[in-house]
Amino acid sequence: MPAIAWVGIGCGTIIVLCILGFSVLVGMCNRKLADFKANPEKSAAELMVKMNPKLKVLSQDESKGTMTIRTEDGKEMTMSYKDLSEGKFTVKDDKGNVTQIGQSDLSNLPTWVPKVAGMKTSTGSFQTTEGNKTTGVYNSTYSESADSLESSFKAEAEKLGLTSSNKSSFSADGAETRTLVYEGGGKKLSFIITSKAGEDNHVVVGYEETK
């Protein structure tokens, strides 16, 4: 399920990360969906590693479903596509910067980041702290309408004293995607709401704080 979830909302995650400054991911949304469908766990694992500039792919063994990666401090590890796609690891570099990848447990979210009532599932997250800056993303699903979710996220942002800096929407393949961005006082929130008739709404929440 986690890998399939990344297939469904991977582009939303990439958009959020690009909004937050992860330029390394620009253009990845052009990747063919067929690649994900062919091997969702491998594709999700590759996405997880690409989201972290501290990780480098050394080799892959598709027959075994494994990937060998190197961390910024030179450590090498071989992990299964499944574990990588579900993000069951934390990386800490020699400067003390910590990156948590893919944890679906949202207990480590900064306290100011909103978790709107009605969340049905959380399918994965990414968080990194470098010096005085923390950046992250989490994915979730809701049964509430896109209009209701937009209003709820707007209210949460306004409680934090953030103001709208960008709002856009587009429709493709029967789905509507809304992008909302709020910022102020060293904090930034972005919300990607994707809705399609007959399905739960997918939401990607991105956050950034500079202290």
Give the pLDDT confidence of 153-179 residue by residue, as tens digits. Answer: 999 999 999 999 888 888 877 888 888
**Whole-prediction pTM:** 0.63
* CA-based nearest residue to 116, from 106, 108, 128, 124: 106
Give the pLDDT confidence of 38-93 residue by residue, as tens digits. Answer: 676 777 677 667 766 778 899 999 898 888 888 777 888 888 887 776 656 666 66
In this prediction, residue 182 has a pLDDT band, given cuts at 50, 70 and 90, of: very high
Within 13 Å of residue 153, how many CA atoms lie on the same side as its CB?
Answer: 28
Please enumerate in sequence order all residues whose Cβ is within 8 A of that of 145, keeping only pairs 6 or more positions apart, or say none. Answer: 195, 201
Whether the per-residue pLDDT at 29 is higher than 50: the answer is: no
- 161 burial level (CB within 10 Å; 0-12, 13-18, 19+): exposed
Whether the per-residue pLDDT at 35 is higher than 60: the answer is: no
Asked whether 7 and 37 are in contact (CB, 8 A), the reply is yes
Asked whether 128 and 91 are in contact (CB, 8 A), the reply is no
Residue 120 backbone zone (phi > 0: left; psi -120 to 50: alpha; other: beta): alpha
d(CA 152, CA 146): 10
For the four alpha carbons of 162, 24, 139 and 170, in that order, the dihedral sign comes to: positive
φ, ψ of residue 7 in degrees (nearest 5): -60, -45
φ, ψ of residue 12 in degrees (nearest 5): -65, -40
Task: Count the residues in the chain.
Answer: 211
Please tell me whether residue 45 adopts helix, strand or coil conformation.
Answer: helix
In this prediction, residue 30 has a pLDDT band, given cuts at 50, 70 and 90, of: very low
